[in-house]
Structure 1
Amino acid sequence: MECPLCRSSEHVTLYYAYSRFDLFECDDCKLLFQRHAETTDVARIIEEVYDDRWVAMRDKYAHLTFQDHALFNTLQLEMFRPGKGRLLEIGSGTGEFLFTAQSAGWDVTGVEASASSCKYAKQKYDLELHNALWSPELAEEWEPFDAVVFWHVLEHMARPVEFLCGVAGKLQDNGLLLFSVPNLQSFTNAIYGKQSPLLTEKDHLYHYSARSLMKLLAQTPFQPVSLFTRQVPNHLEQLLGSSTAETAYSMADKMAILTQLQGKAMGHEICCIARKRPDSAPPTSEAATETERLSQKSS
């Protein structure tokens, strides 16, 4: 079997056979991936997973979505693009981030494949999302954007290099890309091992580490500016309970653990900020060196 990222076929082995799918591991680039990931019918999976029940769950925990994700991601956007502009979000879900960005002054456009999510975003936040699976053809008549974002979407994309190249075509020169993915080297995975909830999701076609993510970006028009991991505080209680059930932690202890996890690149998710290379040129030696530095820092 060939790795869909580095195309190695000599060091790909079965990682684990789950009841609904198999995961394979490439020892060369450290990517985990499902068999036939590149030919998976993503639209069918979205229809199965992101239904009315999923939307009801999102509604129940909307305050946490705002608190833990939407506000933080909007802050990232403000830090790296303070001048605002036209923003595209791919995979808008139930609309919390896009609502927050719009409130901050961005001119927003959202694409979401789940019809139930689009209906909710309209009713709850008055957002008119495009109900479609993202493709460059969908945005063919749209003007280029100043920033494109997608949060926990890349792991669902069957052909990630093709996806990122298509996104680059809808960005202004020096446009900003922000995204996040679950972290293969997270504390969550260290605690739960091969039964981690991050690994057992059928719709997660790929599982990225900082190393494999850098290798992916090197095949696209994007140059990473910043890459780091983040652990959401609200998830820590459950993780600590799973690892040491009889140990009591003070608030100071928990804050120290959170800091250590992020410092060791073991946060729940990897966050990446990147820009288009000038004229979408291949990586220069200087850019390649910076990519390697970020990869080592986050490994």
Structure 2
Amino acid sequence: MSATPSWQAADGCVHTGPLLQSVNGFDVVACEACGFSHTLPLPTPQELEHIYSHEYYTQEKPLYIERYLEDKAWWDEVYAERYERLEAELPAGRRRLLDIGSGPGLFLAAGRERGWNVMGVEPSERASSYSREVLKLDVRSMFLNEETAPTLGQFDVVNLGEVLEHLPDPAGMLRLVHGLLAPGGMLVALVPNDFNPFQRVLNESMGVAPWWVAPPHHLNYFDTDTLPRLVQRCGFEVRHVETTFPIDLFLLMGHNYIGNDTLGRQAHAMRKTLEMNLRAGGETGRALKSRLHRAFAGLGLGREVLAFARKIDDSPSPA
């Protein structure tokens, strides 16, 4: 697309760039000012607070908690890998973790079982109540912002799992995280890998609608290049990048799960089986799985981008 829409934010910044998609009254542009793609216009913080406090888990993802629990055995393996990498990066005495957007709390529960001191922040009333009442976790029902961040303390790890794509100012969130981390602390950031090569083929050559473009819930669209660059700009050293399994591969094989929950669960079940069998395959299987996910990242493929980064100074440059 050749158009270049522009929009001026309240702070005076002009956001403009090549138009990638137009959906539901929003334009998605490859923003020259931000260095990553996002929607125009961006909603206000007040609009987002209403969506995520009351609507997200009841309207956008009504079965999210139930499905999360159905997949618990697989999630336990996924989270074990992330904790293993963190434990290799940090000394044994550094086990304080904050999970921002902690959802129902399984990541926190997995850390607690490994001896970590964990806390969560989750604006969804439904998800945070489950975490506190069922899993007995320390989860605060609030948004992380400049007012609430100083009340939480300091941490060795901050996890942002599928958070940055929802925010009007992801760089601002990373600056808050930088301040919450102790010297040398670790950031873990997971975002959807959007406009990736498989998706582009499906959309541009096969006429499949861009199902991954979902404003106003998804405002930002990252990939294997733009997420690490943003993290670096905000005062972190990127230590490791990989991607998750490219589930859109099933679409290219003719297994069209878009809008079909039954087919979607079947594709997800096959992905889970593959990964759990590799994890059960001893050192050889685990090493192969790790190499596959790094190789996916090298090709720009994978449904999500996962980055581990270390805080490197106390004065991140403006982003």
CA distance in structure 1 between the aligned counterparts of 2:125 and 2:164, rounded to whole angstroms: 20
1:221 pairs, out of 225, 228, 235, with 235
How far off its partner does 1:228 sit? 1.8
- Pick closer, same or farther for the CA change 1:87–1:155 going to 2, 3 Å: same
Aligned to 1:266: 301
Using the size of structure 2 for normalisation, the TM-score is 0.72
**Paired letter, 1:85:** R
How far off its partner does 1:48 sit? 5.3
| 1:171-250 alignment runs, 5 A limit | 171-186=181-196, 189-190=199-200, 192-193=202-203, 195-231=209-245, 237=250, 240-242=253-255
Aligned to 1:57: 63
**Paired letter, 2:220:** Y
CA distance in structure 2 between the aligned counterparts of 1:13 and 1:53, rounded to whole angstroms: 32
Corresponding residue SS for 1:100: helix
More moved, 259-268 vs 167-176: 259-268
Aligned to 1:276: 311
2:120 pairs, out of 110, 133, 146, with 110
**Paired letter, 1:141:** T
More moved, 63-72 vs 199-208: 63-72
| 1:33-72 alignment runs, 5 A limit | 33-37=38-42, 39=44, 41-47=47-53, 49-52=55-58, 56-63=62-69, 65-72=71-78
Corresponding residue SS for 2:134: helix
2:102 pairs, out of 92, 96, 103, with 92
CA distance in structure 2 between the aligned counterparts of 1:120 and 1:108, rounded to whole angstroms: 16
CA distance in structure 2 between the aligned counterparts of 1:30 and 1:221, rounded to whole angstroms: 16
How far off its partner does 1:270 sit? 0.4
Aligned to 2:263: none
- Pick closer, same or farther for the CA change 1:63–1:117 going to 2, 3 Å: closer
- Pick closer, same or farther for the CA change 1:68–1:53 going to 2, 3 Å: farther
The 8 Å contact of residues 224 and 297 in structure 2, kept in 1 or not, is answered as no
- Pick closer, same or farther for the CA change 1:56–1:38 going to 2, 3 Å: closer
The 8 Å contact of residues 191 and 222 in structure 2, kept in 1 or not, is answered as yes
Corresponding residue SS for 1:17: strand
CA distance in structure 1 between the aligned counterparts of 2:107 and 2:8, rounded to whole angstroms: 33
Using the size of structure 1 for normalisation, the TM-score is 0.76
Aligned to 1:122: 132
More moved, 93-102 vs 54-63: 54-63
How far off its partner does 1:2 sit? 6.0
The number of residues matched between the two structures is: 269
* 1:20-60 C-alpha deviation (Å, 9 max, x unpaired): 42222347976321113274532122145423456751233
The 8 Å contact of residues 168 and 219 in structure 2, kept in 1 or not, is answered as yes
Percent same amino acid at aligned positions? 25
1:12 pairs, out of 7, 10, 17, with 17
- Pick closer, same or farther for the CA change 1:261–1:3 going to 2, 3 Å: farther
How far off its partner does 1:78 sit? 2.4
The 8 Å contact of residues 181 and 269 in structure 1, kept in 2 or not, is answered as yes
CA distance in structure 2 between the aligned counterparts of 1:69 and 1:152, rounded to whole angstroms: 15
CA distance in structure 2 between the aligned counterparts of 1:196 and 1:134, rounded to whole angstroms: 30
**Paired letter, 2:186:** L
How far off its partner does 1:15 sit? 2.1
Q: Which runs of 5+ in 1 are unaligned?
A: 244-250, 284-299
* 1:148-171 C-alpha deviation (Å, 9 max, x unpaired): 101110111111111111111010
1:21 aligns to 2:34 (yes or no): no
CA distance in structure 2 between the aligned counterparts of 1:70 and 1:179, rounded to whole angstroms: 18
Corresponding residue SS for 1:51: helix
2:37 pairs, out of 24, 32, 45, with 32
Aligned to 2:261: none
The 8 Å contact of residues 30 and 209 in structure 1, kept in 2 or not, is answered as no
Aligned to 1:289: none
- Pick closer, same or farther for the CA change 1:68–1:267 going to 2, 3 Å: farther
CA distance in structure 1 between the aligned counterparts of 2:166 and 2:49, rounded to whole angstroms: 10
Aligned to 2:142: 132
More moved, 52-61 vs 198-207: 52-61
